[in-house]
């Protein structure tokens, strides 16, 4: 199991686990309250995070916030004995899961009908194995556009940001620490037939993110936080790929040539996602 890490006096995080798609869990520590960011992909994940906080003598959370509705960020909510916050859109999306069964058979059927994707079904099976103690919990507090929380000495701005990955995505800007917790917002849409980015949505998202005065960036499935330079490198690729996709009408070969250099496997994949989004 991964060990809790301290980024600053005000921010601690538990790194992700790729094998069962556990995302980063964060704790913003104020003088009055601690805010938990995301609840984990199971009660076991949430409980382990709280145990790690206790072991490191970090004040335990009294609030949790959810970045978006995907299973790996919400299945731990039922283990928490304190209120949770989400966007109203996230609450609506979670409510749709209340009637679902999580057996292998039910997961396989939803994959067959397109309601679920194989990647997530396999990860759920790996995380829960024989014990499917999945209880969908609805966040108690919701907001529409933005919510500011004073934790005592540190301020968190929760803002609905959208994006292709999940239209309900919310980011957390930890103002005094200049940390921007991005969740999954800059990842592609994984629920479409072919993974994709769309030009307009990506450019709008990047424009919004650039308004935050941040020095450190947290992506939910990245092992380490990104520096400003590293994040800018990511966003330059996305912006260039979007611009070239529009300029060349989704022609992959022309887009590749426009970069004027060899592209890594990850970069090639990103371009293909934009072409997928353009052709839809």
The predicted-structure confidence for 187-212, as pLDDT tens digits, reads as follows 999 999 899 999 999 999 999 999 99
Residue 82 in any domain: the answer is: yes
What is the domain range of residue 182? 5-98+136-227
Residue 254 in any domain: the answer is: no
Residue 42 in any domain: the answer is: yes
Q: What is the mean pLDDT of residues 42-63?
A: 97
Number of domains in the chain: 1
37's tokens: 């960011």
Give the Cα separation of 66 and 64 in Å (integer): 7
Give the Cα separation of 74 and 45 in Å (integer): 11
**By the 8 A CB rule, do 43 and 25 touch?**
no
208, with CB counted inside 10 A (0-12, 13-18, 19+), is middle
Angle at 75 between CA 71 and CA 77, to 5 degrees: 135
Residue 57 in any domain: the answer is: yes
Q: Band of the pLDDT at 1, cuts 50, 70, 90?
A: low
Residue 119 in any domain: the answer is: no
Residue 106 in any domain: the answer is: no
For the chain, what percent of residues have pLDDT higher than 90? 96
Give the Cα separation of 179 and 230 in Å (integer): 14
Residue 273 in any domain: the answer is: no
User: Which CATH number characterizes residue 50's domain?
Assistant: 3.60.15.10
Contacts of 42 (CB under 8 A, 6+ apart): 75, 76, 127, 128, 133, 134
Q: What is the pLDDT of residue 231?
A: 97
Residue 238 main-chain phi, psi, to 5 deg: -65, -45
pLDDT tens figures, 220-259: 999 999 999 999 999 999 999 999 999 999 999 999 999 9
Residue 184 in any domain: the answer is: yes
């Amino acid at each position: 199991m991964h060990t809790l890490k301290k980024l600053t006096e005000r921010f601690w995080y538990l790194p992700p686990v790729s094998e069962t798609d556990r995302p980063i869990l964060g704790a913003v520590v104020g003088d009055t309250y601690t805010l938990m960011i995301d609840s984990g992909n199971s009660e076991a994940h949430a409980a382990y995070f709280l145990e790690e906080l206790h072991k490191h003598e970090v004040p335990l959370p009294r609030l949790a916030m959810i970045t978006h509705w995907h299973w790996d960020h919400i299945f731990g909510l039922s283990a928490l004995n304190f209120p949770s916050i989400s966007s109203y859109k996230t609450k609506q999306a979670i409510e749709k899961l209340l009637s679902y069964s999580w057996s292998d058979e039910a997961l396989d059927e939803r994959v067959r009908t397109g309601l679920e994707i194989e990647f997530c079904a396999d990860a759920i099976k790996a995380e829960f194995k024989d014990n499917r103690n999945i209880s969908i919990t609805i966040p108690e507090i919701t907001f529409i556009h933005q919510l500011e929380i004073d934790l005592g000495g540190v301020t968190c701005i929760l803002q609905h940001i959208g994006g292709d990955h999940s239209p309900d995505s919310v980011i957390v800007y930890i103002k005094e620490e200049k940390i921007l917790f991005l969740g999954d917002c800059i990842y592609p849409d994984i629920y479409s037939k072919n993974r994709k980015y769309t030009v307009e949505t990506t450019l709008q998202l990047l424009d919004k993110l650039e308004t935050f005065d941040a020095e450190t960036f947290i992506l939910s499935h990245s092992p380490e936080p990104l520096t400003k330079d590293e994040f800018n490198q990511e966003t330059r690729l996305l912006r260039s790929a979007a611009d070239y996709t529009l300029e060349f009408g989704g022609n992959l070969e022309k887009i590749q040539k426009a970069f004027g250099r060899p592209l890594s496997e990850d970069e090639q994949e990103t371009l293909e996602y934009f072409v997928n989004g353009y052709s839809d």
